[in-house]
Amino acid sequence: MVTGASGLLGSWLVRRLVERGADVVCLVRDWAPQSEVVVSGLLSRVRVVRGDVRDSLLLERVLGEYEVDSVFHLAAQTIVGIANANPLSTFETNIGGTWAVLEACRRSPKVRAIVCASSDKAYGSSHGSAYTEDMPLRGIHPYDVSKSCADLLAASYAQSFGSPVVITRCGNLFGGGDLNWNRLVPGTIRSVLKGQRPVIRSDGQYVRDYLYVEDAADAYTCAAHAVATRPELAGEAFNFANDERLTVLQIVERILKQMRSDLEPVVRNEALNEIRLQTMSSAKAKHRLGWSPRFDMAEGLERTIAWYTQHVRRQRDERVS
């Protein structure tokens, strides 16, 4: 079962699971007709359940009726700006949804692997050090706190109840299919395709680790297989990133260069409640899980730009017809 299947990572993870011959159940709350999982026709190849991730009775029914053995919990409110404006809905979904999933899995004896999506934001500020999995979770702002809490809940279920759960903490994900245009990568690409100057909400100097979405999908399947076959990994957390630290401005400049654009970004310096410096080490995942990214930043951006170029062209054709 994949929760949050219509999101960026959910769409690519479902694709990866279907390609490997898995029988997939997707939990979908809102119908998103432009999401990759819909546009690609993937939903016609899986079982779809409409509902809210906080509905524990629904979750138990799905896990039991479909005899689910692996759960990928991705459903979340992922936009920092929305978390700042409406923290309650973020807490309800990201924290309440996580304990609903974990409790439903605890009561479902066939479940052998649970992968719970946390985030690099769960660490809070590192004061310049690269995040490693043994660091404490110190989220302060609403979105960061929601991920810290969800992360701790997953570890608690592993330690207290023996739940076969591993926790993934990824860098900033990017890739084709992300239709949240206020995010940096899709927003910048769409602006260039429309001949408009890309907008940077911050001062452009915020530092992040990034991860291309197909590498993230590989990381999740790798983590699920690991905890299903090595029960001693239950409760462990793993960082996943491409280990290349870039400022927001550097990412925008790379996109502009790869799209052969001479547009200048608009730097608004309006970012609030965001951590300034976030870098992470993926050494543990590489050593313990044998995972490593298949795509560097240039390759990931090239594939991402190609996806959005096709997406915008398809939208134009639909309007004309």
Q: Give phi and psi for 25, each to the nearest 5.
A: -110, 125
Pick from 126, 134, 97: nearest CA to 235: 134
184 CB-near residues (< 8 Å, 6+ apart):
172, 174, 200, 248, 251, 252
Residue 301's Cβ-count burial label (10 Å; 0-12, 13-18, 19+) is: buried
Write down the residue that tokens 């957390």 correspond to.
237
Q: Which two tokens stand for residue 264?
A: 């200048």
Q: Give phi and psi for 212, each to the nearest 5.
A: -70, 140
- Helix, strand or coil, per DSSP, at residue 35: coil
Q: Is 123 a catalytic residue?
A: no
Hey, how many other C-beta atoms are within 10 angstroms of the C-beta on 188? 28
- The Cα–Cα gap between 64 and 60 comes to 6
Query: Active site residue: 66, 123, 131, 143, which one?
Result: 143
* DSSP H stretches of helix in the chain: 8-19, 36-39, 56-65, 80-85, 87-91, 97-106, 142-161, 184-193, 213-229, 248-258, 283-284, 297-320
Active-site residue list = 143
